[in-house]
Structure 1
Amino acid sequence: MTEITAAQANSIIETAMRTGTDKGFKPLSVVVLDAGGHVKAFARADGAAPGRFGIAHGKAYGAVMLGMPGSAQMARAEAQPYFMAAVNGVYGGHVVPVPGGVLVKAHGVVIGAVGVTGDTSDNDVVAAMAGLSAAGLDGEA
């Protein structure tokens, strides 16, 4: 089974942060989780709010635990809010069902997730996907 290496996790974060800076995004925070939902790496840009870890983690955690990216979680929350409320109860309130939670895949298998927060959810996805591309991994946003 393939897993996200520390080098890949750091590459994802460095590239996502650099993409945010290059594109003029607000300061980003980026977390990379393994397939079990455990933190592999995290970084918070200078100027990013200190509470951003929880948001980035919640985006990624929801993606890996549910096997669906943040965009799909948001659609599900809009269509069936009771379902996402129940899911969040199951996971101790740690799921943030919005874009910016990206599944990480290798050979079609989920090996983790990336959570990015700090700018708009759409821009958070742009940064996450750039990071995954730089690390040679596929993402589902």
Structure 2
Amino acid sequence: MSKLTLAQANQIIASALENARSKGYKPMAVVVIDEHGNTRAVQRDDGASMFRIDIATGKAWGAVAMGSSSRSLAERAAGNPNFFGALASTSGGKFLPQPGAVLIKNAQGEIVGAVGASGGTGDEDEEICIHGVNAAGLDHA
């Protein structure tokens, strides 16, 4: 399995933030984690609030932990709030099933990490994550 490199993680973030700025979105934070939930890279835009990194991390961490985009997790959580509340509790608060994170896959279709964003709407956050992953030449799910 090819691993997610630091250069790829930095490219994802740079492209995601550039996309957000070009569209006039609010200041964002973007976090890239590996397939084990370890942080590879993180940036918080000037003016982004102090919670943005934690929220972006929780979205990405949940995506990797469950093998699904955070949008999909949010939809599933609506129908099973007790289970998803328990996941948040047992993960020490690291699990956040809200739109704004996607899985990162290599050319072989293997999950190599996730990217999460926070600062805009869930749709905006997810959009810039997808843009960043595509710009790095990787696939998303």
The answer to whether TM tops 0.5 is yes
Please give the residue correspondences for 1:1-141 in structure 2 after superposition, counting only pairs within 5 Å. Answer: 1-106=1-106, 107-140=108-141
Structure 2 CA distance for aligned equivalents of residues 71 and 30 of structure 1: 16
- Consecutive unaligned residues of structure 1, counting only runs of 5 or more, are none
Specify the SS of the correspondent of 2:92. coil
Identity %: 44
The CA distance in 1 between the partners of 2:86 and 2:110, in whole Å, is 26
Deviation digits for residues 105-135 of structure 1, max 9, x if unmatched? 1121111000111000001111001100110
- Match of 2:24, SS state, is coil
Mark the runs of 5 or more structure 2 residues left unpaired by the alignment. none
Determine the C-alpha separation between the residues in 2 that align with 1:85 and 1:102: 21
Q: CA deviation at 1:45?
A: 0.3
Normalised by the size of structure 1, how large is the TM-score? 0.97
Q: Deviations over 1:32-88 (max 9, x none)?
A: 000100000000000000121110000000000111111111011100001101111
How far off is 1:19 after superposition?
A: 0.2
Q: Which amino acid aligns with 2:84?
A: M
Rounded Cα–Cα distance in structure 2 between residues aligned with 1:69 and 1:92: 20
The two structures have a TM-score, normalised by structure 2, of 0.97
Structure-2 separation of matches of 1:81 and 1:51: 23
Q: Runs in 1 of length 4+ with deviation above 6 angstroms? A: none
